[in-house]
Amino acid sequence: EAQVTQNPRYLITVTGKKLTVTCSQNMNHEYMSWYRQDPGLGLRQIYYSMNVEVTDKGDVPEGYKVSRKEKRNFPLILESPSPNQTSLYFCASSPSRVALVTDTQYFGPGTRLTVL
């Protein structure tokens, strides 16, 4: 089954404790992206990757890191989490950013992160 998976689905942590949220897709998509979703706000892009070893900042990259060593995986790293990073995080993928004109983005199930 074609899908985007994220782990963990739920995470409660404390300020300053490094964490990684994993994202994996099995559709051989080139383009992957991380978003955060907060109440009353639309999804906001954190980082994206157009292909292996190619990553770039989105609209709200502060406090986050990513890597793209393999096509299928795109982990989101919070080196020193803070309470304002408490949010719902989504990973998404699509075949190609250039072809995003009518490409569908496939979203993962989300990771609910709470930073105390």
Partner 1 sequence: KNQVEQSPQSLIILEGKNCTLQCNYTVSPFSNLRWYKQDTGRGPVSLTIMTFSENTKSNGRYTATLDADTKQSSLHITASQLSDSASYICVVSARKEYGNKLVFGAGTILRVKS
Is 109 a binding residue for partner 1 by CB under 8 A? The answer is yes
Residue 52: C-alpha distances to residues 9, 18, 29, 48, 49 (Å): 25, 24, 10, 11, 7
For the bound state, the minimum distance from the C-beta of residue 43 to partner 1, rounded and expressed in Å, comes to 4
The least CB distance from residue 65 to partner 1, in Å, is 21
Q: Interface with partner 1 includes 92 (CB under 8 A)? A: yes
Cβ atoms of 11 and 111 within 8 Å: the answer is: yes
**Can residue 65 be called a binding residue for partner 1 (CB under 8 A)?**
no
50 binds partner 1 per the rule CB under 8 A: yes
* 55, 58, 60, 61: CA torsion to nearest 10: 10
What does the block give as tokens for 23? 């994202």
For binding to partner 1 (CB under 8 A), which residues are involved? Answer: 4, 31, 35, 40-45, 50, 90, 92, 96-102, 104-105, 107-110
